[in-house]
Amino acid sequence: FYMLQIIARASSMGVIMFALQVIIPKWFVTIRGRALAFGQVGLTMGNVVVPFYAQRMVQIAGWRMVPATMGVAMLAFSIPDIL
């Protein structure tokens, strides 16, 4: 279990850091610094907000419903960006 968590966390952070350090500067050439700052603030705010959100969801709906709900929410936010 712990090895899977380590592998999943490392691969996830690798993708996020790749987006922050490679993709964003290539898209926003003229306002590169501002774009990187907003990307980093978004990452940090996500790390702050999601645990509180998840804890509240567990209190309301139970622990079995939380992963499914958060997965659907991530898909709902991600699919419009892909299209």
Cα 65 from Cα 75, distance rounded (Å): 16
d(CA 47, CA 54): 11
- For 21-67, what is each residue's pLDDT tens digit? 787 888 888 888 888 888 888 878 887 888 888 889 899 988 888 88
Give Cα 57 distance to the centre of its chain.
17
Residues 6+ apart with CB under 8 A from 70: 54, 57
Cα 76 from Cα 68, distance rounded (Å): 12
- Position 81 scores a pLDDT of 67
